[in-house]
Amino acid sequence: MVVIQHFLKWLETAKTQERADAAAALARAFVQRELKFDDRLAAEAALTLLLDDRSSRVRLALSETLSLSARAPTHIIAALAADQAEVAAPVLARSPLLSDAELIDRVALGCVKVQSLIASRPRLSRALSASIAEVGSVEACTALAGNEGADIASFSFRRMIERFGGNGALRESLSHNPNLPADCRHLLVEATGMALSTLPLVKALMGEERAGLIAKDACARASVTLIESVADEEHEALVEHLRLRGELTSAFLVRIVAHGKVDFFRVALAAIAGQDVDRVTALLARGRHSALAALFKRAGLSAITHAPILTALDIWRDVARGNRMAGPQEVSWSMLQAVDTKLGHEDAERLSRLLRQIHLDQLRRNARLQALELAAA
């Protein structure tokens, strides 16, 4: 008690660095030593008084020393968290004593630096992550997306993409998050395409309309690639996401069948046809063309797509049984040959262009892979 009294009198004349060193020493003693009850009360009073020190260096010394301790006085931690960003930083980033409610308030009221510090904490609850996704800056959302210790709900991932999908750093951080749901990965693909199509240089070179078409086609290709990385149990969620966005078009389904994504195709077909997945699976595996064509019609697939899709399914069945070897290159070519040019000239031409493009893409891809294999030999 007497020591604390002398300490408080000494503070009136001590220099800034001396007060900072003394504040750190007192804070260490408080959290590391077993003090008598009266001494502990006196030390806590002195620490509280130091919160009003005119120098931020003194308050920062308190913040750094108390930030990791669960024994620090809660009112002092709360006060330091509400101090200027430099002083609050250690406490906001590390203190186990700050509640979700306090941190959410700091996110709502804090600057970019404060929000980013909170988003980088070792552990973030779902509620705290949601508040950052909703009101945090793009820098804070980027830190959140890259934080392996953050519990992030699907709707919070979507909210970040909706708010800042045009930001490259955020897209990069989200793309590397292993917990990003399949539907959000698709939104990320679209956000990337939109960002590219609106670049001034791209619009100047291609024109706004052509840039938009190229971006749309690139998104469709990326969506097919995305399906490869999606677990089977996520297919239904991704299908529902695409269905609600109106993207389960005949052209998209033709594209995924050409690439051999039959498992995804069956889930998509069941959803848009309103049929049980098991029944659709059985039809795709063993059903006759007439039954499959009826299913395609019920699903709203354009009549011009029926023959090419049936052709592809026949080939993929043979591949699955081990009766032949084929890939998207051979399948897309066979589908192209199956297009009935008598069924709607314009529709047939559009479908032929799509299948020809898929075939040429696969030719280039296979040639590139072969060249790389030769170079590595």
Q: What is the pLDDT of residues 22-55, one digit of tens each?
A: 888 888 888 887 777 777 888 888 888 888 888 8
Average of per-residue pLDDT across 143-153: 94
Tens-digit pLDDT profile for residues 246-275: 888 898 999 999 999 999 999 999 999 999
pLDDT at 2 over 60: no
State yes or no: pLDDT of 158 exceeds 50: yes
Residue 210 lies in a domain: yes
Give the pLDDT score at 157.
Answer: 93
For residue 12, pLDDT over 80 is answered with: no
Query: What tokens does 277 get?
Result: 């997945």
Res 98 pLDDT > 70: yes
Q: Residue 139: is its pLDDT beyond 90?
A: yes
Rounded-to-integer distance, Cα 42 and Cα 65, Å: 18
More confident residue, 64 or 3: 64
Domain C-terminal end among 73, 96, 119: 96
Question: Could you tell me if residue 80 is inside a domain?
Answer: yes
**Domain shared by 28 and 150, yes or no:** no
Q: DSSP letter string over 63-121?
A: HHHHTT-SSS-HHHHHHHHTS-HHHHHHHHHH-TT--HHHHHHHHHH--HHHHHHHHTS
Same-domain status, 146 and 236: no
The domain in which residue 69 lies consists of 1-96
The pLDDT assigned to 202 comes to: 47
In 3D space, the residue among 299, 289, 291 whose CA is nearest the CA of residue 268 turns out to be 299
Question: Within a domain: residue 175?
Answer: no
pLDDT at 110 over 50: yes
Is the residue at 336 inside a domain?
yes
Domain boundary among 96, 124, 153: 96
131 lies in the same domain as 26: no
Does 263 fall in a domain? yes
Number of separate domains in the chain:
4
Q: What is the pLDDT of residue 216?
A: 61
Share of the chain above pLDDT 70, in %: 88
Structure token digits, residue 246: 């109106």
Number of H helices, E strands in the chain: 23, 0
332 and 364 housed in the same domain: yes
Q: List pLDDT tens digits, range 183-217.
A: 888 888 777 766 655 656 545 555 555 555 555 66
| Residue located via tokens 């009198």 | 9
Q: Are residues 273 and 376 in the same domain?
A: yes
Interatomic CA distance for residues 148 and 103, integer angstroms: 18
The region of weakest confidence among 99-103, 175-179, 246-250, 301-305 is 246-250
- Give yes or no for a contact between 269 and 232, defined as CB atoms under 8 angstroms apart: no
Number of Cβ within a 10 Å radius of residue 91: 27
